[in-house]
């Protein structure tokens, strides 16, 4: 297969994904539903962040989760303990979720009864950045244990994200990681990036993240009522 054929195949896949993503986006907008596509490398703390976030917001807002993983239902079972409705997607080896998978998962969620939907993507800093799911925002988590060079190695992820959560800051005394350098490098790629320094173990910084989410939910509701 020549390079031109490969490029054509990739382009067709991305275009098909984008068409379904737009369908998802219209459906979310009709329901005044805020949707966050949560991405990170494996072990950065996506599920722990979701657990803490859901528990802190669930008395005020109705939250659901689409849980993506290559195999197992372990993370979905953890999320279900928060009381939030959750739908599991097992990709069977695929390194990301796509918009068609999300569209199928929505058959098992009553999204009209939700204010906020989290999509926990497959652990990967490459593929998920390229696939639009119809979300309002992409949010990525970076663990301090991963080091401060990731903006240099995975710039597309930082470019496509609206939010960067720098997690596990309680481990800073034990890591060779410079938070200021992460922020400097990330903002050079994406000056509009909203950055939160957090610890899912201690809870530090999670209040600011929660406040940002509440603001976005209210703006989504306001925008929906005006349209």
pLDDT confidence of residue 226: 76
Mean of pLDDT values over 52-63: 98
pLDDT confidence of residue 1: 46
pLDDT confidence of residue 164: 98
- Using CA atoms of 167, 168, 174, 178 in order, give the dihedral in degrees to the nearest 10: 20
Mean per-residue pLDDT over the chain, rounded:
93
Exposed, middle or buried: residue 54 (CB in 10 Å: 0-12, 13-18, 19+)?
Answer: buried
pLDDT confidence of residue 5: 47
Query: Which tens digit of pLDDT belongs to each residue from 71-110?
Result: 888 899 999 999 999 999 999 888 899 999 999 999 999 9
Order of strands, edge to edge, in the sheet holding 194-197?
Answer: 86-90, 63-69, 116-120, 34-40, 137-143, 163-167, 194-197
Query: Which tens digit of pLDDT belongs to each residue from 134-165?
Result: 999 999 999 999 999 999 999 999 999 999 99
pLDDT confidence of residue 227: 65
pLDDT confidence of residue 9: 53
Q: Which fold has domain 3-226?
A: Rossmann fold (3.40.50)
pLDDT confidence of residue 72: 84
Domain boundaries, the chain: 3-226
Residue 188, number of CB atoms within 10 A of its CB: 13
Mean of pLDDT values over 205-226: 94
Mean of pLDDT values over 112-135: 95
């Amino acid at each position: 297969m020549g390079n031109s054929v490969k490029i054509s195949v990739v382009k067709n896949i991305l275009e098909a994904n984008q068409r379904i993503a737009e369908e998802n986006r219209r459906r979310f907008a009709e329901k005044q539903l805020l949707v966050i596509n949560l991405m990170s490398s494996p072990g950065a703390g996506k599920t722990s962040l979701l657990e803490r976030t859901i528990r802190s917001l669930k008395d005020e807002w109705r939250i659901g989760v689409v849980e993506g993983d290559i195999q197992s239902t372990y993370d979905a079972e953890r999320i279900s303990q928060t009381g939030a409705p959750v739908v599991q997607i097992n990709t069977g080896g695929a390194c990301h979720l796509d918009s068609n998978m999300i569209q199928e998962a929505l058959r098992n969620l009553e999204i009209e009864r939700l204010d906020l939907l989290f999509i926990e993507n497959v652990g990967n800093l490459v593929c998920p950045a390229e696939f639009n799911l119809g979300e309002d925002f992409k949010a990525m988590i970076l663990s301090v244990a991963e080091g401060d060079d990731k903006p240099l190695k995975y710039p597309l992820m930082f470019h496509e994200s609206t939010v960067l959560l720098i997690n596990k800051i309680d481990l800073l005394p034990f890591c060779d990681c410079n938070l200021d350098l992460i922020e400097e490098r990330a903002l050079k790629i994406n000056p509009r990036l909203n950055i939160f320094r957090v610890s899912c173990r201690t809870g530090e910084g999670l209040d600011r993240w929660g406040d940002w989410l509440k603001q976005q939910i209210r703006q989504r509701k306001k925008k929906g009522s005006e349209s």
